[in-house]
């Protein structure tokens, strides 16, 4: 497969996964903002997806609808949904001859949905959750179409590597941001609503209730999001799938490139697999998460150098 084509598959999927994470965070945080009597802030969401710019915080003024519009429809925001899906569609257009018609039409529909000029007005005047749900369903339709119709070849492998790399990074960022305030506000440790919203933003609340019987505890949340092999948005689940789909590229790769990347992925996989919540907390959660993210970025950089020829 040409490096340009491989890169387009990879980035197409990363952008779609990023849009899914943003939409889910916006939906849960908006619901949280309506429940909170005081003290709610959009700062964690903005920090995860748009950086820690105080000028931006001041501009958005912690207003829920203003933040949602900025994260969904603002073309000046490189991480808004409209910007991300535009990039995703551009990547898909570049490999249109390699993807089936159903998937192209699905992505095209998502693109036109976010380009709809009435979307900004609807987010301001209607219930934002209902509008966000429409966009989330577009993502789900895309994933279902890709699963059912995509040829099981290298293109799909690159798509899934991109998806799970992006997903792992998002889960790490959310944990890092949400656990960060505990040092200055230990009362959050017993705030069940705080942990419920974290799990809901990752789609893991129902699984948590089935897995743990002793209520919402910070260490259990940490275990599920990092170490639970059955949770589709856990870090270990994502890394396992990066390894799974990378292994399928073995016959289409030079052995040197394959072995180098396989080593880095396997090393990260083993590091997480043999971690424990107690060990993570003893070593320092922030340092642990930073190390994981650095390793994921290194894998992404090696993909770019070895498989995409810096395309």
Q: Which residues contact 177 (CB under 8 A, 6 or more apart)?
A: 44, 47, 48
| Angle at alpha carbon of residue 61, lines to 200 and 40, rounded to 5° | 35
> Residues 294, 268: contact at Cβ < 8 Å?
no
Rounded Cα gap, residues 36 and 122, in angstroms: 23
The mean per-residue pLDDT over the stretch 67-72 comes to 96
The mean per-residue pLDDT over the stretch 98-107 comes to 94
Q: Name the more confident of 185 and 193.
A: 193
> Residues 192, 216: contact at Cβ < 8 Å?
yes
What's the burial of 120, exposed, middle or buried (CB within 10 Å: 0-12/13-18/19+)? Answer: middle
> Residues 196, 186: contact at Cβ < 8 Å?
no
Q: What is the dihedral of CA 85, 231, 190, 39, to 10 degrees?
A: 10
- Residue-wise pLDDT tens digits, 260-295: 899 999 999 999 999 999 999 999 999 999 999 999
Q: Is 52 left (phi over 0), alpha (psi -120 to 50) or beta?
A: beta
pLDDT at 223: 97
Please identify which residue in the block is written with the tokens 């018609």: 101
**How confident is residue 52, by pLDDT bands cut at 50, 70 and 90?**
low
Rounded Cα gap, residues 89 and 76, in angstroms: 18
Residue 254 has pLDDT above 80, yes or no: no
Rounded Cα gap, residues 218 and 241, in angstroms: 26
**How confident is residue 234, by pLDDT bands cut at 50, 70 and 90?**
very high
The mean per-residue pLDDT over the stretch 248-268 comes to 87
- Residue-wise pLDDT tens digits, 149-188: 999 999 999 999 999 999 999 999 999 999 987 877 777 7
Rounded Cα gap, residues 93 and 99, in angstroms: 9
The token pair that represents 133 in the structure block: 């749900």
Q: What is the pTM of this model?
A: 0.93
């Amino acid at each position: 497969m040409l490096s340009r084509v491989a890169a387009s598959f990879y980035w197409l999927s990363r952008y779609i996964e990023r849009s899914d994470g943003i939409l889910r965070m916006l939906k849960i945080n908006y619901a949280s903002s309506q429940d909170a009597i005081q003290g709610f802030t959009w700062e964690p969401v903005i920090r995860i997806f748009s950086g820690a710019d105080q000028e931006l915080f001041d501009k958005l003024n912690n207003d829920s609808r203003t933040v949602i519009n900025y994260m969904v429809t603002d073309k000046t925001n490189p991480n808004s949904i409209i910007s991300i899906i535009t990039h995703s569609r551009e990547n898909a257009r570049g490999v249109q001859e390699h993807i089936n018609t159903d998937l192209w039409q699905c992505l095209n529909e998502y693109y036109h949905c976010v380009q709809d000029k009435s979307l900004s007005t609807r987010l301001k005047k209607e219930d934002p959750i209902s509008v966000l749900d429409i966009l989330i369903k577009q993502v789900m339709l895309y994933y279902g179409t890709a699963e059912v119709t995509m040829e099981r070849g290298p293109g799909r492998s690159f798509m899934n590597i991109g998806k799970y790399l992006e997903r792992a990074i998002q889960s790490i960022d959310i944990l890092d941001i949400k656990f960060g305030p505990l040092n200055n506000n230990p009362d959050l440790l017993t705030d069940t609503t705080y942990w419920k919203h974290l799990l809901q933003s990752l789609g893991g609340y129902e699984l948590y209730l089935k897995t743990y019987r002793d209520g919402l505890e910070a260490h259990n949340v940490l275990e599920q999001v990092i170490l639970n092999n059955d949770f589709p948005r856990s870090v270990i689940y994502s890394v396992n799938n990066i390894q799974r789909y990378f292994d399928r590229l073995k016959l289409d790769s030079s052995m040197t490139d394959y072995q180098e990347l396989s080593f880095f992925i396997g090393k990260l996989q083993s590091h997480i697999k043999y971690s424990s919540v107690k060990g993570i907390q003893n070593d320092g959660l922030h340092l642990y998460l930073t190390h994981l993210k650095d390793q994921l970025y290194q894998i992404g950089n090696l993909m770019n150098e070895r498989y995409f020829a810096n395309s």
